[in-house]
Structure 1
């Protein structure tokens, strides 16, 4: 089988690309507006990353596959779901890149609500106008070897016919399976913000598998009035990771305990950057460029590598079968 190539737009640090590289695809271009993310891409994958806007870039190479992870903030249930978010229309750059690259297959990753948006409908119509057939997959990363509940939508635009979504694995990995693995001394990503003041007091009181509800019971003086007003909403905030379960979706703010269940199961701290990367299936030899928050963004905004690998395998198999039929 010949070497297959791909472009990655809105590439971030390359977690989506990593799955394709693992299946023998060769990246010819990765593009993202974040210089830190591109520095990470070039360090860990191939030196083909460019810091630029997708919408203002015209030097588009030929590739067998185009993959894209356009901004999801305007569609995500974890955000405002603002239909007027200017980033929403960036997804409509994909057809231009598909045409210029002459890709046989286009894979667009986003949050599930993206499939109900007007941008997705316009995207689908534009790609169909170029001769692509459109298929959609809803996949959960936990079904593909990721210790995390993370549902993602994949739009497949194909010029080689329909092909099947990757079959789920049957054995789920828990957060504890990953967090129990030893981290070598000196790993510069094994760091976290040191809690101080009221934050430190809260964390020390939260029991294993506990969360803000335990704080409200044990130390109401440490709890703002807003917690009482919201009642049973957002119960995961200031929560400890349950080691016997997959983690909930890890966000780019996973080192902030007020954003979710991101406290270590037993230690009085949030997850480290390395632990967050492991939850996303990132190999330990990867290093990320930038200060802690840009690194956390690169980790939290990426496609979990095991899920990316499963999608890439399905694409590889479909292209291979098509080439075998043509040869025959």
Structure 2
């Protein structure tokens, strides 16, 4: 298999658990490429995808092209030049003769003209194309994270079914980690906060958010918060212990970016806790500064979710082998 826009390699990792062997990966971010290399091997190329050629034929291509232009956060930028990188996937599919192509992106990608054009190109290459929106929590990931998966296949279309097991709550995900002050795990450290941020967090009860700061400690709330049309209320929010987390985005180390405060402690969740909530195993080794590790987690496909897709794709190849043997 070949992975384009590979990030830290967690989708490749999910596919290896179902027997696929990566032969090439391409990633622009040096830190993410280093993470891929450390965990999966030296076949990753750190470069702009437009400057790289596939190493040769392959059975499957996976890709997670940039999603910023399609995201529902802020204004969607339909003309963002990064959007057009998605067309590289069709180009590589033609060059490699891949039997199956898997494209992961935000759900809004499916409503874009870019997706329509990409699907048409893939159909012209002889693929059946289907797309669906999946929620990570249905695959044993303790996170409400919806993502689109576009499958282009010459072997028929797969049936992606939920996985049994896993965990569905933040409590179960972070169980056993203990205090960030104990142990030697560099990913399980509490990030320093400003005195103002610490005071705000102390004012937030279990399950609360910035509205509780405004009620309990109004002097800590900036004037902009009192604007009816100000930012979303789900910021400066505590995660709920016995529920799935909200979507982990790339800036989850910042309390102003969502519901990323620890359920009971007066601190942000650690990178290790975030990795657990993303179903990333503790043995996975990340490279780069904390902010880049947060991006790698927030941009990646949770491995349990990816494995369900990989299992469905593997079934297509198994059926093809059975037909040939019959």
How high is the TM-score relative to the length of structure 1?
0.95
Structure 2 vs 1, CA of residues 181 and 61 (structure 1 numbering), >3 Å: closer, same or farther? farther
1:202 aligns with 2:231: no
Cross-structure match for 1:41? 36
**Aligned residue among 246, 249, 272 for 2:247:** 249
Which consecutive unaligned segments of at least 5 residues does structure 1 have?
1-5
* Cα-Cα RMSD: 1.6
Structural mapping, 1:118-137, within 5 Å = 118-137=113-132
Alpha carbons 1:60, 1:100 under 8 Å: kept: no
Partners of 2:124 and 2:190 in 1: how far apart?
48
Partners of 1:167 and 1:59 in 2: how far apart?
32
Cross-structure match for 1:220? 218
1:291 aligns with 2:289: yes
Which consecutive unaligned segments of at least 5 residues does structure 2 have?
none
Offset at 1:63?
1.2
**Aligned residue among 35, 55, 62 for 2:57:** 62
Alpha carbons 2:99, 2:155 under 8 Å: kept: yes
How high is the TM-score relative to the length of structure 2?
0.95
Partners of 1:297 and 1:211 in 2: how far apart?
23
- Any runs of at least 4 consecutive aligned residues in structure 1 with deviations exceeding 3 A, and if so which? 167-172, 230-233
Cross-structure match for 1:274? 272
3-state SS in 2 of match to 1:139: strand
3-state SS in 1 of match to 2:151: strand
Structural mapping, 1:84-163, within 5 Å = 84-163=79-158
1:238 aligns with 2:236: yes
Offset at 1:161?
1.4
Alpha carbons 2:7, 2:300 under 8 Å: kept: yes
How many pairs does the alignment contain? Answer: 323
Deviation string, structure 1 residues 90-132 (Cα, Å, up to 9, x no partner): 1111011111121100000011111111110110111111111
1:29 aligns with 2:4: no
Structural mapping, 1:67-86, within 5 Å = 67-86=62-81
Partners of 2:166 and 2:274 in 1: how far apart?
21
Cross-structure match for 2:15? 20
Partners of 1:39 and 1:192 in 2: how far apart?
24
3-state SS in 1 of match to 2:22: strand
Partners of 1:24 and 1:268 in 2: how far apart?
42
Offset at 1:70?
0.3
Offset at 1:171?
7.9
Question: Bigger CA drift: 165-174 or 236-245?
Answer: 165-174
Offset at 1:168?
5.3
Structure 2 vs 1, CA of residues 71 and 192 (structure 1 numbering), >3 Å: closer, same or farther? farther
Alpha carbons 1:143, 1:172 under 8 Å: kept: no
Deviation string, structure 1 residues 33-86 (Cα, Å, up to 9, x no partner): 011101100111222111011112124322111000001111111242111211
Alpha carbons 2:143, 2:246 under 8 Å: kept: yes
**Aligned residue among 310, 313, 320 for 1:312:** 310
Partners of 2:68 and 2:280 in 1: how far apart?
22
Alpha carbons 1:133, 1:161 under 8 Å: kept: yes
Deviation string, structure 1 residues 182-229 (Cα, Å, up to 9, x no partner): 257101111242112211111111111111111000111100121111
Partners of 2:54 and 2:233 in 1: how far apart?
48
